[in-house]
Amino acid sequence: ARCQCKISPRERKNCGPPGISAADCRKAGCCFNASVPGVPWCFTAKPKKVRKVCPADPRVRVNCGYPGITAKECTSRKCCFRAHPAGVPWCFYHRTVEE
């Protein structure tokens, strides 16, 4: 993603050999910007920001418990708990989403 390449020139970490082409740099999963002399033009991207969320859609819940599990037992497993609707897991895993 473009935002992962917004790194100040002095903080860039080299991600390829000298003279690497923009295409080869990007193929290696790195960022390329040749606008500033004297700093790496092919550099490592910032890591993606992710967070865990409890899915809102009951149909995508992945069971993390067992029938009759309590909210306390579910949260001690570091899972989500919602006692509704019927017919879907009430204790279920988080989903990881990119910010």
Segments forming the whole domain that contains residue 15? 3-47
Q: Are residues 86 and 59 in the same domain?
A: yes
CA distances from 60 to 65, 70, 95 (A): 15, 20, 10
* Mean pLDDT estimate for the chain: 92
Q: Is the pTM of this model over 0.75?
A: no
* pLDDT over 70 percentage in the chain: 97
> For residue 18, what is the domain's CATH number?
4.10.110.10
Q: Are residues 61 and 30 in the same domain?
A: no
Evaluate whether 46 touches 7 at the Cβ level (below 8 Å).
yes
Query: Residues 14-17: contacts with CB within 8 Å, 24+ apart?
Result: 14/40, 14/42, 14/43, 14/44, 15/40, 15/42, 15/43, 15/44, 16/42
pLDDT digits (tens, 9 = 90+) for 24-36: 999 999 999 999 9
CB atoms within 10 A of CB 81: 19
pLDDT at 66 over 90: yes
Q: How far apart are CA 82 and CA 9, in angstroms?
A: 46
The total number of structural domains in the chain stands at 2
Q: Are residues 56 and 94 in the same domain?
A: yes
pLDDT confidence bin for 1, thresholds 50/70/90: low
pLDDT confidence bin for 8, thresholds 50/70/90: very high
Average pLDDT of the segment spanning 53-62:
94
